[in-house]
Amino acid sequence: MPRLVGINHIALEVGDIDEALAFWESIFGELTLRGGRGGHMAFIDMGDQFIALARGRSRPPDRARHFGLVVDDKEAVRQRLRALGVPISGGRGLERSQSRRARSSARRASRRSSARGAVETAPRSISPNR
């Protein structure tokens, strides 16, 4: 039986593509776009995944709709979001489960690589509430 292994992309409806790209660049710096930028769509490259920005909203904003990102420096992103005045969730539930997985993964990696002296760590998640 096939198993679910990840997410290829997320699609976000935005009012204005240029404004949305400027927001993402204000957090992460210069972005790499897949296939450039069209009139109604832009695709922010994230390695094996991407964020699809689509102009136009078909539904009003709500309080429960959200997504989580994995970043290489969670605290730096949180600081940047605070500086920009963007509200962020605490992500406590994800952090706890991620921390357990990270500790377990690091223990396994440590056992596998103790001869080389390397220890792998798992990336951490944040959940922007925007």
Query: For residue 117, what pLDDT is reported?
Result: 31
Residue pair 78/70 in contact by the 8 Å Cβ criterion? no
Q: What is the pTM for the complete model shown? A: 0.65
DSSP assignment letter at 128: B
User: Residue 65's pLDDT is what?
Assistant: 78
Give percent above pLDDT 90 in the chain: 45
Q: Which residues pair with 10 in a beta bridge?
A: 51
- Pairing outcome for strands 9-14 and 49-55: parallel
Domains and CATH numbers, the chain: 1-57 (3.10.180.10), 68-76+89-130 (no CATH)
For the segment 25-63, what is each residue's pLDDT rounded down to a tens digit?
999 999 999 987 877 999 999 999 999 999 988 888 777
Rounded-to-integer distance, Cα 12 and Cα 41, Å: 10
What are the residues whose beta carbons fall under 8 Å from the beta carbon of 130, sequence distance 6 or more?
A: 86, 87
pLDDT digits (tens, 9 = 90+) for 107-130: 444 333 333 332 222 333 343 433
